[in-house]
A = this chain, B = another copy of it.
């Protein structure tokens, strides 16, 4: 018998506690892990804290080999669509450049890179409503959305370079030209168009979407563990390559410009107006 035990790995119980202010966890006996974003058990309020928590989440659940399949969703009728403006002001009005670097470069890279590099199991995202930061949903193996979902990258309209991975996802899911057009003009496409163009795999009513994710998960779980995991490797390979080749140049560009123009986050500007819907 080995001379040493393995290093202690955080148990689901332990990390459920650690992340409790950001995520609710539910895991079946065979390892299907449902993670639900929340703020005070209601709609997510976006903040640098949630941004950072997500990047830590991917790593934590990815390193727990007891997790066999990830279902990711959010609370209530929205995806990520409310904001804690004070969180952004804390950083943007501070003189602490180390903190600025941490949120601008480190966290912005890691929220995507950790999802791609640390999660080595099949992933299903159930987008439960409108919102931003759907790049992790798009980079999931399987993506469900509710009928009211709008796919839209509002960086450019908010005066930011669209460098955080959303436009990278659009270019590769919808095609270079559609992605660029939507990004420049802040146009969105609705759930039906997403389905037709291959951005999402199924449209499901809100009260059924998480159960549908579980149904798919249970089907996938009928296959052996090594098959499931290596099939995820095959499924995620295009994203691993795209992220490695592109994300850093995009993030650096966004943050260079953000600072040069002394930008701030003004999320109240985000909107999904009818005249912002692309005809695709």
Contact = CB atoms under 8 A, between A and B. Distances in A.
Contacts of A225: 97-98, 101
* Copies of this chain per assembly: 6
A266 interface: no
A167 interface: yes
A227 B160 contact: yes
Nearest to A278: B201
B257 A234 contact: no
A242 to B, nearest CB: 9
Interface string A164-184: 000110011111111011011
B261 A227 contact: yes
Interface in A101-148: 101-102, 105-106, 113, 117-118, 120, 122, 138, 141-143
A6 B201 contact: no
A253 B252 contact: yes
B230 A84 contact: no
Given A87-B3, A180-B235, A224 B259 contact: no
Nearest to A116: B117
Contacts of A1: 86, 90
Contacts of A97: 225-226, 260-261
A273 interface: no
Nearest to A237: B246
How extensive is the interface on chain A, given as a class? 35 or more
15 contacts: A2-B48, A4-B50, A6-B48, A6-B52, A7-B18, A97-B261, A100-B260, A101-B260, A168-B234, A172-B176, A173-B175, A201-B278, A226-B257, A230-B256, A256-B259
A177 B198 contact: yes
Given A101-B229, A223-B159, A53 B6 contact: yes
A181 to B, nearest CB: 4
Given A1-B90, A219-B185, A177 B199 contact: yes
8 nearest A-B residue pairs (beta carbon):
A252-B252, A249-B249, A2-B87, A226-B257, A175-B198, A180-B235, A181-B201, A230-B253
Interface string A248-267: 11101111110111010000
A101 B226 contact: yes
